[in-house]
Amino acid sequence: MTDDDERLLTELLEGKHRALARVISKIENHSPGYRDLVSQLHAHTGDADVIGITGSPGAGKSTLVDKLAKTYRDRGHTVGVIAIDPSSPFTGGAVLGDRIRMASNVGDMDVFFRSMSARGSLGGLSTATTDAVRALDAFGKDKIIIETVGAGQNEIDIVKTADTVAVLVPPGSGDDIQMLKAGILEIADVFVVNKADKDGADMTVTELREMIMVASDAPDTGHHGPDAMADYDLDLDGTGEDDWTPPIVETVATDAAGVDDLLETFDDHVSWLAETGELETSARRRYAEEIRTLLREDTAELLADELEARGGLEAYVDAVVAKESDPYTIADEVLEPFETCLGELRAEGRATVGNDGQPN
């Protein structure tokens, strides 16, 4: 790390918001040295509760997040808010960065707000979001709220970052309920029927209850059951006896009605996570996925550099178009030096380590 980055790290850990903002900017821009900074932050994390807020456009996510942050502050907690916005196809920056509906906490230095770009990530969260959460956690924020772009079949990355996920559903939204059945049900720890003073709220609550009851009759489904962990090579007993059933909370975010109940539900879920061991399991799941993501990204960069060194991709495309080669052959050709190098390294490792696992 450079001297400047070391000073930046020290100031962040000392609670200086200017340093926090600079670190998150370095993370978001992938500035030189940002990975070393994030690595140093890791040892100082693990104390914050991370809450994800997602839902269809118009569900009132921004207004609810604003009230959640204010209520947390009234209770004496410090808060970090990351609002993930659609990214510009031209600059990669956040399109909705003004967030004019988040006005209750203006001027409160213990509420740190940052609008970040999704940067084309299908799940609505970029890799930088996880690192920004880590920076807020190391800084000492008690509660970290992530508001995602919206809800859809691909809007599931929030599970990989948040301890508790709340899915907002506006009243009278039959299409939204159908969408939830298509995939979003699995990510919800809490359902929030926001704008509960509007017509159709009771019907929406009823439909959600029915949906949850049907889902509870299908064992080992959703991110609360063992099947959700299958991709992470974790040892789970699969009994499902302590599964969490997502509650439904009604809110009217514009006047903070129901917000206290929602916060109590978040606390209940965190307690359940700790008591059942799911908190550790979730952490292992997130770290496993983060490692995979970083490996994919770094490998992609290495391959891009190799292609560039070989004169770029166009020559290979020309060969495929001319039927002189095919994509599989080209992929094998580009990967060959990497495979050879890894094979040699593994062979060297076997030569220097005996059968007993000790160096020769």
Question: Could you read off the pLDDT tens digit of each residue along the chain, which spans 360 residues?
Answer: 899 999 999 999 999 999 999 999 999 988 999 999 999 999 999 999 999 998 877 888 999 999 999 999 999 999 999 998 765 433 444 444 445 455 666 667 889 999 887 554 444 467 889 999 999 999 999 999 999 876 554 466 788 889 999 999 888 766 656 656 556 667 889 999 999 999 889 988 988 888 888 877 655 544 444 444 333 333 333 334 468 999 999 999 999 999 999 999 999 999 999 999 999 998 898 899 889 989 998 999 999 999 999 989 999 999 999 999 999 999 999 999 999 999 999 888 765 555 555 655
User: How many angstroms separate the CA atoms of 176 and 188, rounded?
Assistant: 14
User: How many angstroms separate the CA atoms of 16 and 143, rounded?
Assistant: 17
pLDDT of residue 348: 84
Q: In which residue are the tokens 């204010």 written?
A: 70
Count of residues for the chain? Answer: 360
| Tens digits of residue pLDDT in 76-91 | 999 999 998 765 433 4
User: How many angstroms separate the CA atoms of 281 and 126, rounded?
Assistant: 22
Q: Are the beta carbons of 243 and 50 closer than 8 angstroms?
A: no
Q: Which amino acid is at 333?
A: E
User: How many angstroms separate the CA atoms of 287 and 204, rounded?
Assistant: 36
User: How many angstroms separate the CA atoms of 18 and 355, rounded?
Assistant: 53
User: How many angstroms separate the CA atoms of 64 and 53, rounded?
Assistant: 9
The two tokens of residue 122 are 């299908």
Q: Are the beta carbons of 56 and 169 closer than 8 angstroms?
A: yes
- Helix, strand and coil content of the chain, in percent to the nearest 5, comes to 50, 10, 35
**Angle, to 10 degrees, between the axis of helix 34-41 and the axis of helix 17-29?**
130
Spell out a b/e string for 58-86, using b for 16 or more CB atoms within 10 Å of the CB, else e: ebbbbbbbbbbbbbbbeeebbbbbbbbbe
The two tokens of residue 25 are 């900017």
The two tokens of residue 49 are 């509760």
User: How many angstroms separate the CA atoms of 360 and 357, rounded?
Assistant: 9
pLDDT of residue 236: 32
pLDDT of residue 67: 95
| DSSP per-residue string spanning 154-205 | TTTGGGGT-SEEEEEE-TT-HHHHHHHHTTGGGG-SEEEE-STTSTTHHHHH
Q: How far is CA 19 from CA 48, 69, 74, 270, in A?
A: 19, 21, 25, 29
**C-alpha neighbours within 13 Å on the C-beta side of residue 345:** 6
Q: Are the beta carbons of 199 and 171 closer than 8 angstroms?
A: yes
Provide the edge-to-edge strand list for the sheet that holds 164-169.
111-117, 79-85, 143-147, 49-55, 164-169, 190-193, 248-250
Spell out a b/e string for 309-322, using b for 16 or more CB atoms within 10 Å of the CB, else e: eeeeeeebeeeeee
pLDDT of residue 257: 95
User: How many angstroms separate the CA atoms of 236 and 17, rounded?
Assistant: 40
pLDDT of residue 73: 95
